[in-house]
């Protein structure tokens, strides 16, 4: 069973659909017992960081996730907003504290080339800065993934970055630190490369 954390934001249907397609049972829930029973967790989400943390808090999920992920080392994959929530804080709508599992702030994407549009929407190359990470098994360096975001995580100083993407400057596009995984892009919407990455997480992480 794969616990997909439901905190009222985002494309849970898409993530659950991809998990099911790969032969695993998704359980979309915010219930502590069901999340505890899951083999692995996925923290999806699209939308604003402040809302994301507020919704997690309102459902009592911050304590639950800290217990499951930090204390009991259950694997978790953050996707898009879920990835950003892994960080220390975000400057979106004032300063908001994140889950803090990855030691990096989330700040607005500011491409050096002013003609580049924000949000960054579409297919872009993922450069594997740590190709040995299990998420990248069978995925070639530079494979294309689907991104949609206006904020980005700054480079974590602790070496947890595993991949970058370039959009008027390189930014951290994927991280892994122990049992904590995260991708700024949407593997569930990135066709074959995305499904491979998701399968790697589900089978090997």
Residues 89/159/35/54 CA torsion (nearest 10 deg): 0
The sign of the dihedral angle between the CA atoms of 111, 116, 121, 122 is negative
Asked if 186 is an active-site residue, the reply is yes
- Near another protein in 95-114, by CB under 8 A: none
- Near another protein in 121-150, by CB under 8 A: 121-125, 144, 146-150
Candidates 25-33, 69-77, 173-181, 183-191: pick the segment binding another protein (CB under 8 A).
Answer: 183-191
189 binds another protein per the rule CB under 8 A: yes
- Residue corresponding to tokens 């607005």: 108
CB of 39 to another protein, least distance (A): 22
* 163, 126 Cβ separation under 8 angstroms: yes
Asked if 120 is an active-site residue, the reply is no
Of the residues 4, 5, 9, 153, which one makes contact with another protein according to CB under 8 A: 9
116 binds another protein per the rule CB under 8 A: yes
The sign of the dihedral angle between the CA atoms of 184, 188, 194, 200 is positive
Cβ-defined contacts of 136-139 (< 8 Å, 24+): 136/162, 136/163, 136/197, 136/200, 137/196, 137/200, 137/204, 138/196, 138/200, 139/193, 139/196, 139/197, 139/200
88 binds another protein per the rule CB under 8 A: no
Asked if 188 is an active-site residue, the reply is yes
Candidates 23-31, 45-53, 99-107, 171-179: pick the segment binding another protein (CB under 8 A).
Answer: 45-53
By CB under 8 A, name the binding residues for another protein: 9-11, 13-14, 17-18, 20-21, 46-48, 51, 81, 116-125, 144, 146-150, 166-167, 186, 188-192, 194-195
Active-site positions? 80, 186, 188
């Amino acid at each position: 069973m794969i616990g997909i954390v439901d905190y009222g934001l985002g494309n849970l249907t898409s993530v659950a659909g991809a998990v099911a397609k790969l032969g695993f049972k998704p359980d979309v829930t915010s219930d502590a017992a069901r999340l505890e029973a899951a083999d692995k967790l996925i923290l999806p989400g699209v939308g604003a960081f402040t809302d994301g943390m507020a919704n997690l808090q309102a459902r009592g999920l911050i304590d639950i996730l800290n217990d499951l992920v930090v204390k009991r080392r259950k694997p978790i994959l953050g996707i898009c907003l879920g990835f950003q929530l892994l960080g220390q804080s975000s400057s979106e709508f004032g300063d908001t504290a994140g889950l803090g599992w990855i030691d990096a702030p989330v700040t607005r994407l500011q491409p050096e080339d002013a003609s580049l549009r924000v949000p960054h929407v579409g297919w872009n190359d993922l450069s594997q800065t740590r190709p040995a990470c299990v998420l990248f098994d069978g995925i070639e360096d530079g494979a294309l993934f689907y991104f949609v975001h206006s904020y980005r995580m700054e480079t974590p100083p602790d070496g947890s970055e595993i991949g970058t993407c370039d959009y008027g400057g390189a930014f951290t596009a994927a991280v892994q630190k122990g049992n904590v995984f995260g991708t700024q892009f949407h593997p569930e919407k990135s066709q074959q490369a995305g499904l491979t990455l998701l399968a790697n997480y589900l089978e090997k992480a």
